[in-house]
Each structure stands twice: as structure tokens, then as C-alpha cells.
A and B are shown apart, each in its own frame.
Chain A
Amino acid sequence: MPAPTDAAGLRPMHALAASFVHWAVGTEGSSRSSALIRIGLAMLFWSRWAGELLFYMDQSPIGLFLAANFFVATTLLFVGYQSRAAAVWTGAVGLAMYYYFGFQFGREPWTHHHTYLLAVAALLIALTPCDRSYSLDRYLAVMRAERAGLPAPAERGNLWGLRLIVVQLCVLYFFAAFDKSSYAFLSGARIEAIFLWYYAGSDYPAGLAWFATIASVAVVALEYSLAFGLPFRATRRYLLLPGLAFHAIIYVTLPVYTFSATMVLLYLAYFDADAVDKVIARLQGIGLKEEIS
């Protein structure tokens, strides 16, 4: 009878789909890595735009409105008061800077990748339990629980926002590599042109050709590897350091603004949230104390 055979054949697909659904929206875990990303994003927003958005920089009504929204939203995000709403607010400010001020008003480099990535990351962190750790929200929740004679609320929640960050990073790496998968890039020509543009001027340095070719192939191979390898623990251990080194190199050699720092911060989303929690506990000596007691 064909039916049972078909059903048996579909079973692995069913299991794979179930596993994906569980990974995507069914995982609960520690909220600490989400909270660390929340705090890091607020600091990255400040490091990138606080100087440009000081009130005297653009004294037009819309400029002052943007600056006020920026500083209030990011401060709430940093201290963690109404954290998830603050994350949405911060993300909306980032998108307004990107689409409205960047594309409509031509304000540069607000249309660049780093702006979009920061805005999207803030929106995605709103889908995590980023309010449940290292936040004023957490402090107030603990106070409320103490007054009611209840145990402190668990620092846990659904991690689907972190999963979406993982998807975003994979898509970013894949299409960054896909765009470079052409002879023009792999031959080294585009890296040579970038090097001349920023460093050498119109004088082609000796030895650049072989270096550019090797670097081009390595960059594309690394980006594809990061796209498909970072989500999995078995391959992540080999790709983490190359990924961090890659972002460190482009941070110090090219004007990528906060892009590298944001990517490195978002790497936290790849790790099992409970494993991150355990590392934090060990660093704070909590795990050790528990073991001794």
C-alpha cells in the first residue's frame, strides 16, 4: 500500500519542519543575552548619532523633534524602562532617519547599511524578553514581587526575536556574498579599486594584484560560510573568530561606522541564551558560589 510508505517518507520532513518551528517561535530561554543586546544597541545609537543630533545642530522644528525622540527613546532603551516599547520607539526613530531624513532629505550617510541595521535590530529586540534582565523594568518587577511576598520573576522568555536576528544576519551575509560572486569581484578588481580610492590614489602599488585576488576569494568564501555556518553550533566554533576578525578588519580599514560593532553585538543572538546566562553567572561568581554552597 503506497500510503504508509508515503507517510514514512514524509516523516523526516515533518520532523525537520517541527524542529524549525520549535527553533523559530517555540524556544524559551534566558533573557540576559537579549538585555545585553538592548543595552549595546542603545550605546551604538549614541555613539553613531548623539553628536549629530545635539539640539543646536539642527534647530528646525523637525530637527528638534527628531533629536528629542532620539534621546528619550534611546535613554529609555538603555535604562530599560518600558524596554520593549522603547525598542520599538528607537527602531522607529532609526527608520525615520533612514527613510525620511536619508532618502527624502538626502541626509548622508543616513541611508547606509549601518543605519538600517541598527534600526531593524532595535525593532527585532522588541520581540525578545529584553525587559526582563538588566533593566529598570526588572528592578520594578522584583520590587513588586518582594512587596507581594512572591519570588522574583524569572529572567526568561520566548526568544523568537533573537531567531529573527539570526535570520537577518544570515540573509545579510548571504546576499553580501551573492553580490560579490562575480568575476569583477573575485578577480580582485573591486578590492583594488576600493584600495586605490581610500589609500593609494591613482598609483597602483606593487603586489596589490595577488593580495586583492586572495582577499576577494577569501571574503566571499567567508561570507557564505558565515551565512550558513554561524547558526549551527558545530560550525560556529570555527567561524566565530574569523567572523569577528573580518568585522574588526573592515572597521579599522573602511568607513563602516557602527556596522561592524552592531554585527558583533548581534552575534550574541547566535548563542544559546541559557549558555550565555551560564557564562555570565560564572563571570560574576554566581555559579561558583552555588557550587560551594
Chain B
Amino acid sequence: MADIISIETGAGPAGRLSAGRLRFCVFIAIAAFMIAGPAAEQVFGVQSPWLRSWTMFSAIGLGVIDASFEIRQPDGALVPLDRFAMLDAPRNGKLKWIQNPEELASVIKRLCTAAGQGSDIRVRARLATRDGWQIIHTDAENACAD
């Protein structure tokens, strides 16, 4: 490699040759640092604020809950339940985002209270994790019976 660098960095005097070699060494060192940062975290699992991992949006959205609600009608049919209408809450307010399982439990409790005693509310919910969606509530049972 040294002779390649010598060829490429000019046939000038010895001092210029050294500058070219130095520049190439610095180039390789900087490039190696650029690669080492993300490789350390993504390949070897080493986390450090000193190294940039370039993991984009890997944490955004984690913990958010996708939830849907249904309520059983007197004729036995399950119909979608609008939690905003049931709780008389604004659609762009705090209720729009259910951010953790505890908050989901609280919403279910409020819906059951609002629907009245003996109501049958089914809840399907899943939690966003780094490995994908994780089901945290199924509609197999009446959520108000808990």
C-alpha cells in the first residue's frame, strides 16, 4: 500500500510525499472512526455517547398502544365503541394517546363506569416494542368483568 500512496501522492520531493502519506493515514483514521461508531453499537452492542450509532427513530413510538373497543348491544351484537364520545372527551386531547398499559387500564375502567353496571366491553390492544407489536389485551373476555 505504501508504494501506491507514494505513486498517488505525487512524484514530488520527499516532503510532499510525506504530506500525502500523512493525509492518507488521517483519512483512514477518520473513516475508521466513522465506521467504528455505528459498528460498535449495532454489531457489538457497545453503547456510548462518544460513538454515533445512526439508529434513526429506533426509540420513537415505542410504548404507544394501539387499542380498539367494542360494546355489546342489548341484541347481543358487538359494535365499535367511540371512547371519546363515551367519555365526553376531545378527540385531540389527552385521550387520543394511550401511552402505557396502566393508562389503558384506567381508560377501560372509565369506559366501564360510563357504560354502567353489567356492560360488556371488549378491548383489543397491543403495545409497540422494539421487536414489533406485543398483544397486551384480547377481546376474548369482557374487560368490565375484571
On A, residues with C-beta under 8 Å from B are: 14, 17-18, 21-22, 24-26, 99, 103, 111, 113, 116, 158, 160, 163-164, 167-168, 171-172, 175-176, 178-180, 183-184, 187, 189-190, 192-198, 201-204, 254
Contacts and interface: CB of A to CB of B under 8 A. Distances in A.
Given A171-B34, A201-B97, A187 B132 contact: yes
A203 B13 CA distance: 71
B58 A202 contact: no
Interface of B: 1, 4-5, 7-10, 20, 23-24, 27, 30-31, 34-35, 38-39, 42, 49-50, 52-58, 60-62, 64-68, 96-98, 128-133
B49 A26 contact: no
A197 B53 contact: no
A201 B23 contact: no
A42 B139 CA distance: 55
Given A99-B49, A171-B54, 18 more contacts: A18-B4, A21-B9, A21-B24, A26-B8, A26-B20, A113-B52, A113-B56, A116-B52, A164-B30, A164-B31, A175-B39, A183-B132, A192-B128, A193-B61, A195-B61, A197-B64, A202-B97, A204-B68
Contacts of A204: 66, 68
B41 to A, nearest CB: 9
13 contacts: A25-B9, A26-B8, A113-B52, A158-B23, A164-B30, A164-B31, A164-B34, A175-B42, A179-B56, A179-B58, A180-B56, A193-B128, A196-B64
Contacts of B132: 183-184, 187, 189-190
Nearest to B43: A178
The 10 closest A-B pairs by CB, nearest first: A193-B61, A201-B96, A193-B128, A175-B38, A197-B61, A189-B132, A184-B132, A202-B98, A194-B61, A175-B54
Given A25-B9, A160-B23, A172-B54, A202 B61 contact: no
Tell me if B's interface is mostly helix, strand, loop or mixed. Answer: mixed
A180 B58 CA distance: 8
Given A25-B24, A175-B38, A202 B66 contact: yes
A189 B133 contact: yes
Contact of B49 (A24, A103, A160, A189): A103
B31 A26 contact: no
A25 B30 contact: no
Contacts of B64: 193, 196-197, 202
